[in-house]
Amino acid sequence: MKIVLLGAPGAGKGTQAKALSEKLSIPHISTGDIFRANIKGNTPLGIKAKGYIDKGELVPDELTVEIVKDRLANPDCEKGFILDGFPRTIPQAEYLDKVLNNMKIDLDATLLINVDDKDIIERMSGRRTCPNCGASYHVVFNPTKVEGVCDVCSTPVIQRPDDAAETVLNRLETYHKQTQPLISYYEKAGKLKVAQGADEVDETTARVFKALGI
Ligand code: AMP
């Protein structure tokens, strides 16, 4: 299946993308993860992207679309893929349509994980991430088995710098202004499916699978 995940920052796209990736054996493509890997590696892309990300703003489209195009050309995407965090603007969605059209690929679905702003703020303040393997946790809703340490690779988990309170508000504002219009974009295209985000990760996963009919 070829799936786009939509939703506010902190709605659980990354967590659900991993569940979908395992269930369907297709790659999880997160532009946020790609940027963070580039920042960690101090690459030219990482250096350019860091300033925007730290402020809670979007990285400009022209820096973002090329990395997605390259990634989709990888043979592991032939069976399908889950795009998490891309597209985030109408021009990015139009670009994606063009790229997929050229590849003779049709999206199966765009799945919106719907979560209220109030819950988003609560979730993001409790979110912890592994700086080594990227695994994501929440101090209340999805805690690590051993406090403060990643279940997968035992690295101490951290709060992402852009999950700090003032940046979260900026990211939410950015989401409403620039990304939310994609909901009607995909609705008009007849591709939109919706799953209400729940506090429990497994419950959200069940709703996501149901919405996608898998
Ligand atoms: P995420 O991990 O998806 O929340 O992404 C973290 C940050 O990376 C976002 O707040 C943006 O600054 C940047 N980013 C990720 N994906 C995109 C995108 N498709 N377009 C622009 N900026 C992005």
Give the model confidence (pLDDT) of 35-49 as tens digits: 999 999 999 999 999
Q: Which of 88, 123, 128, 207 is flagged as catalytic?
A: 88
Q: What is the average pLDDT across 118-134?
A: 91
Q: What is the average pLDDT across 104-117?
A: 96
Predicted confidence (pLDDT) at residue 122 exceeds the cutoff of 90: no
Domain 2-117+180-212 superfamily per CATH: P-loop containing nucleotide triphosphate hydrolases (3.40.50.300)
Integer angstrom CA distances of residue 159 from 104, 131, 156, 169: 40, 9, 10, 16
Cα–Cα distance between 93 and 95 in angstroms, integer? 5
Catalytic site includes residue 71? no
Ligand 1 neighbourhood includes 65 CB (under 6 angstroms): no
For a mutational test of ligand 1's pocket, the pick from 28, 38, 48, 88, i.e. the residue with the most ligand atoms closer than 8 A to its C-beta, is 88
Q: Can you tell me which atom of ligand 1 is nearest the CA of 35?
A: 8
- Domains of the chain, by residue range, sit at 2-117+180-212
What confidence tens digit (pLDDT) does each residue in 10-44 have? Answer: 999 999 999 999 999 999 999 999 999 999 999 99
Token code pair at residue 61 = 């489209």
